[in-house]
Structure 1
Amino acid sequence: MPTSSPSPVGNNDGPSLTASAIIAPAVSGSHVLKIDGYSRTKGLGNGKRINSDTFTIGGHRWCVQYYPDGVASNDTDRISVFLFSDRSDDTEVKAKFKISLLGQDRQPVPQYSFSSLIHTFSTKEAAWGFAQFIKKYDLEESLHLKDDVFSIRCDVTVLKEIFTEPIRPPVVVPVPPSDMHQHFGQLLLAGEAADVNFEVGAETFAAHRCILAARSSVFKAELLGTMKEKTATHIRIDDMEPKVFKALLHFIYTDSLPVMDEGDGAATAQHLLVAADRYSMERLKLICEGKLCDHICKSTAATTLALAEQHGRVALKEACFKFLTSPGNLKAVMASDGYDHLRSSCPGVMDELVAMLAP
């Protein structure tokens, strides 16, 4: 009975991804041929040409062939223009080109701009172009011929040999997430190099005035501006609870909120929203607003709505209104301790609420 051979130790049969690219390089360039004395070139004879100076594009020599009386016997009333590959060997050249009559602004005239397909220039076919480029009468009656002078531009794109090359995967250097907030948080906890102290209630908090100023325009004005606190090393804050100021400092240094007790989270977010508004910290205000939107209940709806109105938090106000549209919720809120405060501090909000609930 045939048996299968075991896989070699360490063999990795997992998926792999390789990549390659097909490169079709090209080199482009342009040459302008000025015909000064057009009337004196006419009559040269059908099939007779005048060559431009030789120019180099893509490592190959070229010239523009100008036939003032046409290249073929049936084109005597037209000007013919060709691109000629001036080669000294038998190599073939693949190229495409565009021949344009230039206006007085030196820009191609769309009506007389002709693009070719990709042609192979060889010893047998050394020139390609446009036999019926423009009628002589049309040129002579146009504004493009001025003082017996007009110009032609030839744009050439030489196609190089197509090749394939592997695409090497980028080198990935693993970079850990930023831990700057941890370093600043440790600086706050250690109080190293602190140059200002805040007395809040019975607690004192050491901080760094430059960090506070960088995070809050209000702190910047107080600590680095012309206010008296600029030179003070001890600042008293009487209208804020210590735990709220501590949370404010934590956010200033780490851009995040500290861990809050589940039962105390909504109340702390309310007080922190007031502090954020006081110190003009918009991101903190939005974070607190979002937390309060998620913690609206019958016992907090009235105070939260008053807070939203007083501090211009539109989303929080709408969330409170949505909660109060339920008759059961509204009745419970009207019986809460915060309802009288809402009526006295924000009478306009009550008018909005009554109008919204009116049938």
Structure 2
Amino acid sequence: MATTTTTPAPSTRSTVTTIAAEAYHVLNINGYSSTLKAGRYYGLSSFPFSAGGHTWRVSYYPNGDRDSNNDCISIFLVLEDILTEEDVMAKVTFSLLDRYGNPVPSYTYHTQLLNFSTSPSRSMGIVKFIRRDELERSEYLNDDCFAFAVHVIIPKEKPSIVVPPSNMHLHYGDLLVSKEDTDVKFLVGGEMFAAHRLVLGARSPVFKAELFGPTKKDTIDAIQIDNLEARVFKALLDFIYTDIWPEIGHGEDNVAMAQQLLAAADRYGLQRLKFVYEDKLCNHIDTGSVSTMLVLAEKHHCCKLKEACFNFLDSTSPTIVEDLNSSIVAGESEKMVSSSENHGSQINRIDIRIQPWQNADV
């Protein structure tokens, strides 16, 4: 039996018992009311634990993980390992616990056999575990504390020889950091970045055309990239080399970073990265951001993000929608460019500027 005690903030304690390909993880939330200050869509995580040769953690969302369940607590089991071709199957039971540590039948959820390998975020769980008002009225919340359990069963037998997970991303990440044998430089936002043409060309069709196509740039000087922040380009390079995208937190600067990464991913043909941040931004739409999100979705052909914006507008009062529409029209009018040289007074291009993220409450 392996037991660990964790104390993340707000105060929590986790106990793990691992038996072969089975783990029972109990998370005690000490200071429930303080966890509500984490904000919408923000998850608190347990320390990692092992089951079936893989590393897992539990994520607890005190205010739900999306608009449709923001009055509920959400709980997810997250697979920490980066997978290649291996399927990771698991049966999971999520249970609210009473004061004696026993599962509450009405708040116990059994899943079918789940394939975590097919989940883009490698996480699965119960988005409406319990309504907050029900928990607060119940006997299961005592002295501002409650507990829940996640029981993981891995039905797949462990092989006699355990093959470690792929670490190719680490090798390529080290190659980028070491700058060994780099053969191209970029000047972005006043900072210099060294990289490898072959890696960039293999991962991005845009870089392939720029570095190996008929109009390739052979200059020994740095290639200057405009209209892109240095931190965004660094995150872009990290993804190209490691296939790992930076997680975004909450708050105005983090979401603005996600918007810029989506735009940069579209600019360089990195569809997977674009889809990742399109999905993330769908959960950060409110009255202060919907007009920006709509412009972003239109400019970069993000159908899912556009749909999420319209769904939000459908649920918003007519007065607010009218104000947002006026804001969008004004934003478009600011950037309309007239080319009198070629077409007289005819407007021949509309370039809509992405406005800064305005919501600091998430």
TM-score with structure 1 setting the length: 0.45
Higher radius of gyration, 1 or 2: 1
